[in-house]
Amino acid sequence: MKHRKATLLALLIGWVASLALLSGCNKKTDSVTSTESSTQAELANIINQNPDIFTTDQEETEETAAYSSVAPNTEIQYVSAYYVDSSSATLPVAWFRKKQGAPTRNISINEQGDTATVTITTNWTGKLYVDRTNDGKRNPGSKPIADTGIKKAYFERIYGIWTLKKVACVDHNLTNQANQTVDITQVETKTAIQSYIINDPGNLMDLATELPTFAPGTEVKVIATVTNTAQTWNPPVYVYLHHGMPWAHNRQLMYDDGTNGDEVAGDGKYTRTYIIGTSDKVYRSCVIDVLDSGCLQTETTNDYNSTAWRIPYKVQ
């Protein structure tokens, strides 16, 4: 009988110990989950409060501005044997993008101790409006858009507070990249005294030492190296520089014809200059926006084909 009581007592002690161990495991798991949720919330809050750095939407031009930005049906050809068999492309009276519905955004966080790498992926759909009829009326046709923008950032936790340390460009591409033939391979932004070269939009740039930095009033020359595997049109692409603030947005055609600061006609390097404006915003961005020329030659053909890099920079 004593042996049986001892056995039951041992079993009871073991059962209680097991409950205590499981309870401790549960508390540990809850703590980890709480920490992960806290990190997600803190970083998401930083991202949401800094749209100048973290926006991943494609650049848009308001309809009225689009209709006043270029001369209608302008023909721009490049003197190059490379395009000798291509059909001549012309600019439309106007073109602009419009979103349909709210974009979907996913924030992925890879936390390693006191560092975190964040990847923001935004998918959005809409329409590209193209007006090729110079009749004094705003009557564009439209074609569908499905784009994806990806941006990376790097944070460090310093004295318990997450701090942004590095950012990358936003890389915009077609959601279905099998239909995309245009690409950006390099962007150089330079002034009279400094030059910044970006070869990969996903490379993280240190905010203090690597991010392009300009003073207000500085003239910046932007040179984008662009390719298009489809050589149907001459020119094969139209490239635009977007800059300025949301309330004073500028969209300017970039050149590869030996004019407007471009050094060599037809070499695939598109050039435009602009002046850094005065504002209380420290972080801003410019956008290199590339469209296959073919998607601007018709109003309704389902042939949207575009890519873009949104390049962050600092003003001080």
- pLDDT tens, position by position, for the chain (316 residues)? 444 444 433 333 333 333 233 333 333 322 233 345 688 889 988 988 888 888 877 656 667 667 766 554 454 544 444 444 568 999 999 999 999 999 999 999 999 999 999 999 999 999 999 999 989 899 999 999 999 999 999 999 999 999 999 999 999 999 999 999 999 999 999 999 999 999 999 999 999 999 999 999 999 999 999 999 998 999 999 999 999 865 567 899 999 999 989 999 999 999 999 999 887 778 999 999 999 999 999 999 999 999 999 999 999 9
pLDDT of residue 86: 63
As a dihedral over the C-alpha atoms of residue 269, residue 272, residue 278, residue 280, rounded to 10 degrees, the angle is -40
pLDDT attached to residue 53: 85
Is 130 within 8 Å of 143 (Cβ atoms)?
A: yes
pLDDT of 60: 65
What pLDDT is stored for residue 216 in this prediction?
94
Burial class (CB in 10 A: 0-12, 13-18, 19+), 209: exposed
At 186 the pLDDT is: 98
At residue 28, φ and ψ (nearest 5 deg) are -65, -45
Residue 40 host element (H or E): helix 2-49
Residue with tokens 């012309």: 90
> Residue 96 is which amino acid?
F
Q: Which pLDDT belongs to residue 203?
A: 98
**Nearest to residue 77, comparing CAs of 223, 233, 273, 182?**
233
- Radius of gyration (Cα) for the chain, nearest Å? 27
How many angstroms separate the CA atoms of 286 and 223, rounded?
Answer: 12
The helix, strand and coil proportions of the chain, stated in percent and rounded to the nearest 5, come to: 20, 45, 35
- Determine the pLDDT at residue 157: 96
User: Which of 78-81's residues contact partners 24+ apart within 8 Å by CB, and which partners?
Assistant: 78/234, 78/235, 78/256, 78/257, 78/265, 78/266, 79/257, 79/265, 79/266, 80/265, 80/266, 80/267
